[in-house]
Structure 1
Amino acid sequence: MPKKIVIVVQARMSSSRLPGKVMMPVLGKSLLAQMVRRLLMIRHTATVVIATSQEAEDDIIEQEAHKLKVACYRGSLDNLLDRHYEVGELYNAELVVKIPSDCPLIDPRIIDQTLSYYFDHKNQFDYVSNLHPATWPDGNDVEVMTMDCLNNAWENATRQLELEHTTPYIWENPDKFRIGNLTWETGLDYSMSHRFTIDYEADYQFVKRVFEELYPKAEDFSCQDILDLLERKPEIYELNSQYAGVNWYRHHLDELRTVGTDQTKDAPETAIELI
């Protein structure tokens, strides 16, 4: 088992569709704080680092990290690959886990499952995720990569989408990396039908409602707890269902070799996108 696992949470205030989303309040805490709390629930020993930019507007994120007593690194605004690499180097990581800050409902059990899958297949993979293909509800994104793998991407990636989204150079080149994928043990695929991530105001209303319903009963509520809640109260599902399946892939289908039209969809025409 690696000596050092580092979880990198990429966060910034300048979201194009929902500015400042990571600091929006839920039950008296920021979404970022609620997410970090969930990350700290995992069974594996790991260091959590919030990676933000050097822009002045992201000072508040550094302040929040200090308040949460977790590490903070400040780097490039748009080159997320560089941010992840620099954090890995700075904290002597052997494994880097990429968790986007727009996944405040992420189930810590799924992070543990993905890490265990990597460890159970000792020396078989450079990169393991639950995203290629995805099966869990969107917003449970876990990507695990060795530092050597991340270093390779950092040295060789050149396309803007590779720099901005950190890992495409890896999973787009299965001939260069040993890639593993963990699928949902239920055999179901809710990746295009259920959305637990946050990018729009409707997503915020969904996430806020889920926390209000489940957090008071069990702070470590699971993905299954959320699905059970949506069965009992389908009106919560409807809050952001129009965005289910909408993700960043849709803007790069002409550039991506391993992603097809069945893995993304366009945002509704009613959605205002400031891209």
Structure 2
Amino acid sequence: MKTLVVIQARMGSSRLPGKVMLPVAGRPLLQRMVEQVAAARSRFELTVAATTDPADDPIGALCAAIGVPCFRGHPTDLLDRHARAAALAGADVVVKIPSDCPLIDPDIIDRVLSFFHRSEGSYDYVSNLHPASYPDGNDVEVMTMAALDLASREARRPLEREHTTPILWDNPHRFRIGNVAWESGLDLSMSHRFTVDYREDYDFVKAVYEALWTPQNPTLRLGAVLDLLAARPEIMAINARYAGVNWYRHHLGELRTVSARETRAPGDIA
């Protein structure tokens, strides 16, 4: 089976415009993100799914410079963008990873993909998000092309089109759903925020890279990041007020399988 990893990226973030091109350890954040994903040992092809908006031309130029395919699709319908990118690549299995996770551990990608492939067709969709346990920003979602196609044809609600996969994981009576929990037994999903959505998130990621990244050791691992945060709590504090904040809070009345315990408003735990 051909596996395609799709990194969704755009310049038009409402909270932090152009975040994917902000510098991290001397390179654009998106390039560091691609490097982390490419360090996984699993066999897959990789593409960046940007939008047709001319503002995303720098993403296309970066992808050309670093030798990564770039698909340009619908600006707001991410479900359509993923489905078209996957169809163009002839994928059998599609992995969705957002571009705002530049600290994603390649080993976690391997673990989720290994679970999916070992299950020998037992699941339509597998992630490490439902329920989540890893620090926010280690998001891996794997689905069959058949499931993605069906989702693209049938999804009607705006949240399903914008967020790509809710029609799958929020309908466990229709789709075979699997989840990979952190083998440590810990749950840091609401307390540790490694994703980039706000300026403080970028400052946090930049500080982590400045502390850990070297040309000799270019791949960051979860254990090393957690050790750094334990030793330097001032880095952990940079974006602490956004810990647990995610898009779920805007749709709690529409989602069947997400509760208020899985999201917070900015500043709730500051």
Same fold (TM over 0.5): yes
CA displacement at 1:10 relative to structure 2: 0.5
CA displacement at 1:11 relative to structure 2: 0.5
CA distance in structure 2 between the partners assigned to 1:211 and 1:218 by the alignment: 11
How many residue pairs are counted as aligned between the two chains? 268
| CA RMSD of superposed structures (Å) | 1.1
- Answer yes or no: is 1:10 the counterpart of 2:8: yes
TM-score (norm 1): 0.96
CA displacement at 1:268 relative to structure 2: 2.7
CA displacement at 1:112 relative to structure 2: 0.2
Amino acid in the other structure paired with 1:210: V
**SS of corresponding position for 2:257:** coil
Which residues of 2 match residues 167-182 of structure 1 at below 5 A? 167-182=165-180
Which residues of 2 match residues 81-96 of structure 1 at below 5 A? 81-96=79-94
**SS of corresponding position for 2:226:** helix
Amino acid in the other structure paired with 2:222: C
4+ residue runs of structure 1 moved beyond 2 angstroms? none
**SS of corresponding position for 1:262:** helix
CA distance in structure 2 between the partners assigned to 1:129 and 1:7 by the alignment: 13
CA displacement at 1:48 relative to structure 2: 0.9
CA distance in structure 2 between the partners assigned to 1:121 and 1:38 by the alignment: 25
- Answer yes or no: is 1:163 the counterpart of 2:156: no
- Residue deviations 1:204-254 (CA, integer Å, cap 9, x gap): 110001111111162122111100100111111001011000000011111
Amino acid in the other structure paired with 1:57: A
The answer to which of 117-126 and 99-108 deviates more is: 117-126
Q: What percent of counterpart residues are identical?
A: 53
TM-score (norm 2): 0.97
* Match in the other structure for 1:30: 28
CA distance in structure 2 between the partners assigned to 1:267 and 1:153 by the alignment: 31
Alignment equivalent of 1:129, drawn from 120, 127, 130: 127
Amino acid in the other structure paired with 2:235: I
Which residues of 2 match residues 92-103 of structure 1 at below 5 A? 92-103=90-101
**SS of corresponding position for 2:94:** strand
Alignment equivalent of 1:153, drawn from 144, 151, 154: 151
Unpaired segments of 5 or more residues in structure 1? 270-275
Alignment equivalent of 1:20, drawn from 18, 21, 46: 18
- Answer yes or no: is 1:254 the counterpart of 2:253: yes
CA distance in structure 2 between the partners assigned to 1:57 and 1:245 by the alignment: 30
Amino acid in the other structure paired with 2:229: L
- Residue deviations 1:21-78 (CA, integer Å, cap 9, x gap): 0000011100000000111111111111110110110111111110110000001000
Alignment equivalent of 1:183, drawn from 177, 181, 184: 181
Amino acid in the other structure paired with 1:39: V
Unpaired segments of 5 or more residues in structure 2? none
**SS of corresponding position for 1:98:** strand
**SS of corresponding position for 2:103:** coil
**SS of corresponding position for 1:190:** coil
- Residue deviations 1:119-163 (CA, integer Å, cap 9, x gap): 121111110000000000000000000000101101110000000
CA distance in structure 2 between the partners assigned to 1:25 and 1:156 by the alignment: 39
* Match in the other structure for 1:44: 42
* Match in the other structure for 2:267: 268
CA distance in structure 2 between the partners assigned to 1:82 and 1:243 by the alignment: 29
Amino acid in the other structure paired with 1:241: A
CA distance in structure 2 between the partners assigned to 1:75 and 1:84 by the alignment: 8
* Match in the other structure for 1:76: 74
Partners of 2:36 and 2:220 within 8 A in 1: no
CA distance in structure 1 between the partners assigned to 2:208 and 2:123 by the alignment: 35
CA distance in structure 2 between the partners assigned to 1:23 and 1:268 by the alignment: 26
Alignment equivalent of 1:214, drawn from 199, 212, 215: 212
CA distance in structure 2 between the partners assigned to 1:267 and 1:257 by the alignment: 23
Amino acid in the other structure paired with 2:100: D
Amino acid in the other structure paired with 2:259: G
Amino acid in the other structure paired with 1:61: I
